[in-house]
Structure 1
């Protein structure tokens, strides 16, 4: 490699009073005064101070790389002190030993710094949210993420994402914790982690700093959704729903929810084109599902009869349960819960989502159905990735029988029938009346 350090060759060279080994002193640099022509004060290892007639003083180094004469600039005195200039000289010489032009590298670093400064957390978060929209995530999920992002934007929104530290994120999350919203704080930490990982994947950050915050936040107490799971109480609930004297479509929606136990949002957004009534199936498209996978629901005879009570078609509204204010919008997300309250069920007793827990509990207690079939009907994902790879079956035939049995069971409970349930012991099953 052709590498040489040269003495200054622009104008007269003025040597400092110190020996070449010691170089300049801070006092000598500070007392350097302008002259009619620019001059230089030589330090050690090729570093020198260029003093302009205007009084401006600059740190420089001349070098030759690949037969080209170049000058590296290390900043202006006093913004850059003698010690700082020497440190920058060392870094430049290290680059030169690798065959890298420090002048060119400085330009690249400046561009990179400019780009990094523009890649703020706010900008990356908006890109990530737009990615969610393009993936056709549910509007409700996107709105929730937008709200969670807004909680940390005042603190880190305008910071370059590559410069944000774990401590900065923690301080922002602690503000949420101080309002006793522990679950929200945990959820926002997870969301910030997704944004940081997106920045890493798009070469705007080195790592996800939120990983360092594991264990730093208060773990919220798990509160299970309220649900009715005692058979005699389920019977009372079904009778209350059957006798509900509120809006007709709310009554139909409540009954269909009980017989299909889908998520409330999936029921509210149900559209006519999702149903094949001749084949007795309801196919919910991926963009409406929590796990973004299509979900097929066998419809029992009772479910088909309930749908048959709806006296409008797709020409009136694409939704089975349109809003009372507009046929272009689905039923309000609070309608079903409000109906349950009107029937006398408090929010800590039963909710629209509770029909899923009700079905899961009772179907598992029956002991007649494969747990995988029940989980598949609930559209739950297998948490174990290895096991998930070997359980790809849909358990369709069993689910068809199970859903018809579930509807028959609900009708029996509503009619007040005594349900015989087995209690399995070590020997013969013992039957008891519930």
Structure 2
């Protein structure tokens, strides 16, 4: 059977070389290493004469159509008494066929050169496109970053917001230290020094991978010392009042479940730990008294904790009552009403947000509330009691006050303050519970 492109593509190497024939003496030879080479058998003196072989070249550099055209050219030479092998060696061509052969051969050579040049140009264009920052960043994200990072959404946001728009069209090998500094300086101008540092770190990892893939020899981000961008901080994030507003607007404008929106809002208002909230039961909430009593076994220090509830918090719990489907838990799991949502549920919900605030974790809500309440001049003992922190030393031994009345007034002020940040500068619908507490 004659060869076909499909058959050629599917030829597999074996332990020994083997051949597959086409027509007119043309065949392909497959070597154990996988190389496929076009060759031609012919006889100069007809049947009974010695068989000769000549090689064209490898597939797919030479297509099947190229090989068949070459076979026909060789047949024309043989008819005129010219050996293709002799011609390949550079032997002299008889005068009576020289002109015909030269014209025929030159046309084949010219056509082949055009074909090869187009292939080379196409490969060069493909290579240039694959080695742009944008293309390589996508490759790095899918092959490395998205698999090895606990929060790939942050990296995705850095790539899309700051890296690709700035240098996405540049060749990865052409990126300079000046390019890196221009990106980090632009981020710092937004007042986000830590985000600038994170962006530099992402670029450093990206270019390290590019070096490993031999696309560049220089890491421009590694040449920029971290200390020249921002000082790396330990986990001490406290959101500003403006960031609190932007965060909650993003939460309420997102597509996450309503119960999760209210849970995140309650974490800010009640100043409790995430585990204390998500494992809360309805028998802990006293709607008449407006208090939430957390048993000691669910507290970090094994001591019961009472949270005076603001009007906003009471209204949220009332709405959550209707969303809990009769479960004993305030935030029941989607898979079973007999257990609460998992510890990662709210973290995952936050990761789905497109936030224009600093990187933070849910525990930072407590630090944020403490910081802003201290800045507002509230008594430190009240704040520490809201956080369920123990006062150390002699003072802690003698100070057993719960400050329920003072804490209730402070947490009401705090809930009103948070509302003001949500509504500052733009309107956002945060839900039914808003009407409930405004009517109170």
TM-score > 0.5, shorter chain as reference = no
TM-score by length of 2: 0.42
